[in-house]
Amino acid sequence: MFELRPPSLVRIFDRPVLGHKLKHAIEPRLIYRFVGGVDNFADLIRFDERDILSDTNELEYAVIQRLYVKPTRVPECHEPAPVAASTAGGKNKPCQTRSARELLSWEVKQKYFFDPFFGGALVSGTRNVLATTDDFTGIAFLSSPRRFTPIVSRIAVHPSNQTEFGWQLDYDTVASQVNGSTLFANYRLRDFFFGGMHTYFHDFQELLAPSLPDHFNQFRVMTGYGNLAKRGLNAAVSLGFDANPVGVLPTSKPLQFVEPHVLQYSAVQATYNWDCCGLSFEYRRYELGAIRNENQYRFSFTLANIGTFGNLKRQERIY
């Protein structure tokens, strides 16, 4: 692997905007990867991420733009002590330091494959999940030999320490369509937090199972109080909705009627922490028709500085 990161292009704007000084940075990136010797890909049993490793000869190119802001109304502080003497009246006032933070980042990237067959690992007419594509974007797009990956755009905005927005868009230049779009927003007000997400996903189901939908349009909302380490009671609720019309799957083929499931996912988690330990419970409900219809119950008991016992894993928590 060879990685090239040229010097960043930076510009600092002299005119403040809303009491903040702006700094714009452009960071290009080039990564060349070559993997060879995986000559038995078809004989491997898919078990984890190492089992999807294949031959590849590729070039990844990306551009990241960052926008930094720094307040101008707070006087610059050069005092080593936390309190600086004021010249007016001889009184001491808190010494505040101006610090820059990242307001916005925008990354656009794409890959070019010199070997569109991946050393013979690619099978035409079916979904191919390889390590090189899975690390690049979480949406499978390989169904035939191709040179270019979809263009991936990732935008992250942090207006304040309590607020964040994000948008990831995958546009397939080969199929001339949007493969996926994920838009989310989170806000925290002291111990209360709120969040929402919209996900659009376009699959190539016509190659696999024509009777299944090829479009997914879903929403998720979440609200809660506290956090994992806060003493006392903490709780959160998360809901997932399907925005498809009732009883109709919006496919490119004739309309197909199925059993509607508007609320497809729901979860409730509650935690109570003492000084020495904590106890957590979680309930999840999946209602995906014939694909998945079940209730799940999880719990965990945590001893401070020792460990956690139970079936509620960290990656499965709501908060």
Give the Cβ contact number of residue 142 at 10 Å: 22
pLDDT at 79: 53
Q: Which one, of 282, 288, 246, lies nearest residue 267 by Cα? A: 282
Q: Which of 140, 173, 206 is the last residue of a domain?
A: 173
- The answer to whether residue 254 sits within a structural domain is yes
Tell me: do 41 and 116 sit in the same domain. yes
- The answer to whether residue 197 sits within a structural domain is yes
Check: CB of residue 276 under 8 Å from CB of residue 238: no
Dihedral angle computed from the Cα positions of residues 70, 73, 79 and 83, in that order, rounded to the nearest 10 degrees: -120
pLDDT at 136: 92
Higher pLDDT, 205 or 187: 187
What is the pTM assigned to this prediction?
0.77
Structural domains counted in the chain: 2
Tell me: do 113 and 196 sit in the same domain. no
Q: Which of 173, 201, 232 is the last residue of a domain?
A: 173
Tell me: do 67 and 199 sit in the same domain. no
Tell me: do 29 and 118 sit in the same domain. yes
Tell me: do 110 and 237 sit in the same domain. no
Give the Cβ contact number of residue 269 at 10 Å: 22
Q: Encode pLDDT of 44-97 as tens digits.
A: 776 665 688 899 999 999 999 999 999 887 655 555 545 444 444 545 555 555
Tell me: do 146 and 233 sit in the same domain. no
- The answer to whether residue 237 sits within a structural domain is yes
Two tokens, residue 264: 């497809």
Tell me: do 126 and 165 sit in the same domain. yes
Tell me: do 136 and 43 sit in the same domain. yes
- Range(s) of the domain holding residue 35: 1-78+92-173
pLDDT at 18: 85
pLDDT at 238: 96
Q: Encode pLDDT of 125-142 as tens digits.
A: 888 889 999 889 888 898
pLDDT at 260 over 80: no
Phi-psi region of 54 (alpha: psi -120 to 50; beta: other; left: phi over 0): beta
> How do the residues of the chain divide into helix, strand and coil, expressed in percent and rounded to 5?
5, 55, 40
Q: Which of 173, 202, 219 is the last residue of a domain?
A: 173
Check: CB of residue 166 under 8 Å from CB of residue 157: yes
pLDDT at 166: 97
pLDDT at 116 over 60: yes
Two tokens, residue 80: 């080593």
Q: What is the mean pLDDT of residues 191-205?
A: 86
Give the Cβ contact number of residue 86 at 10 Å: 11
Check: CB of residue 276 under 8 Å from CB of residue 304: yes
Tell me: do 162 and 203 sit in the same domain. no
Tell me: do 199 and 59 sit in the same domain. no
Say if strands 277-287 and 307-310 run parallel, antiparallel, or are unpaired.
Answer: unpaired
Give the H or E element holding residue 276: none
Tell me: do 112 and 161 sit in the same domain. yes
Q: What is the mean pLDDT of residues 116-125?
A: 90
CA distance 130 to 116: 12
**Which residues sit opposite 249 in a β-bridge?**
256
Tell me: do 101 and 245 sit in the same domain. no
Tracing tokens 């925290």 back to the chain, one arrives at: 188
Q: Which one, of 314, 287, 290, lies nearest residue 300 by Cα? A: 314
- The answer to whether residue 178 sits within a structural domain is no
φ/ψ (deg, to 5) at 76: -65, 140
